[in-house]
Amino acid sequence: MHNKDIDKARLFIYNVLSLFFVEEHVKNHLNELIENLDILALNSFDEDFSKIIVEIEELLKNYEKNELYVQYQELFLVPFGNSVSLSASWHHEEREAGLMLIKVRDILAQTKIRRDESKFTAQEDNFGFIFTLCSYLIEQQINGELKTNLQKELFKEVINPFIDKLSFQLVASGSEVYTRVGTLLSIFFNFERVYLEVQRVK
């Protein structure tokens, strides 16, 4: 059973998460991220979630202009050290452009939107794009423009099997911000499992 107020909050959280994982946002929209974190901290569904949001917000407010982007590059773009892949295909079969890319494209094909390559340089199975797509699908459902629950399908087929692994890798990364983002993912997606009635993949 869906609750429109909860869905609006989920839409907002997916938007905030996408700001951490889409290169264009991290590189050029730090102020937007801080503003959204401020709103989220004041309207959080969980005390621990709110506490971590405030910690991240404080870090970002004290960062130099490109400091978060440097962490992003070191973690997601440089294939050495504590590198973490944002590709769902990589988490599934340790190669790019695999089955998960097909699954995301199948879901995307059932909507009116397509990937804007000027904003999303990565493939559609990149978690930054997936979180953006989730927020769009939830918005379409709230507005009654989608009759099928494509967001649940995306969560069940692509996010749920791999989000714990991604979260763990981020927590263990040593990155000041993304360690905390990994904890946010863990808290939020445990909520999503309960809300969407989807079991954790073992």
pLDDT the model gives residue 45: 86
- Residue 126 to residue 86: CA distance in whole angstroms: 5
Rounded (5°) CA angle 37-188-129: 75
- Residue 143 to residue 197: CA distance in whole angstroms: 22
pLDDT per residue, tens digit, the chain (202 aa), is 679 999 999 999 999 999 999 999 999 999 999 999 999 999 988 999 999 999 999 999 999 989 999 999 999 999 888 899 999 999 999 999 999 999 999 999 999 888 888 888 899 999 999 999 999 999 999 999 988 899 999 999 999 999 999 999 999 999 999 999 999 999 999 999 999 999 999 8
pLDDT the model gives residue 80: 82
Q: How much helix, strand and coil, in percent to the nearest 5, is found in the chain? A: 65, 0, 30
Tokens of 121: 């340089």
Q: Is the pTM of this model over 0.85?
A: yes
As to burial, measured by CB atoms within 10 angstroms (0-12 exposed, 13-18 middle, 19+ buried), residue 77 is: exposed
Selection from 69, 91, 70, 64 nearest residue 164 by Cα: 91
- Residue 111 to residue 121: CA distance in whole angstroms: 20
Ramachandran quadrant class, 53 (left: phi over 0; alpha: psi -120 to 50; beta: rest): alpha
Domain ranges of the chain: 4-196
Looking at the domain covering 4-196, what would its CATH class be?
Answer: mainly alpha
Rounded (5°) CA angle 50-8-182: 40
